[in-house]
Amino acid sequence: MPWFAVRPRDPADPRWPLPGRDRIVLKADGADDARAKFQEAYPSQPFGSATVPMPDAGLGSFRSAPDALVVEETGEPPAPQEC
């Protein structure tokens, strides 16, 4: 299974749920699967709102704008460093 890097098309996109990280790398069957896994892990930010307290419906959701995410095949990420 190949590795894919998922990042926002616009680095300043406020919907990006990982401040301080420009991308996330994950294993997937293809680019569409990588996008789906990302959206499952980070459905919205926050998870809904006081007026719309439903998961996947918050202002941070990428579901309504799939082109806002760039998905590219990449190499295996380095192993995490132990402190």
Residue 6 pLDDT > 60:
yes
Model confidence, pTM: 0.75
How far the first Cα of the chain sits from its last, in Å, is: 29
Helical ranges in the chain per DSSP H: 31-41
- Domains of the chain, residue spans: 3-74
Look at residue 18 in the predicted model and tell me its pLDDT: 85
Query: Mean pLDDT over all residues of the chain?
Result: 82
Residue 48 pLDDT > 60:
no
- Quick check: bond before 46 cis, omega within 30? yes
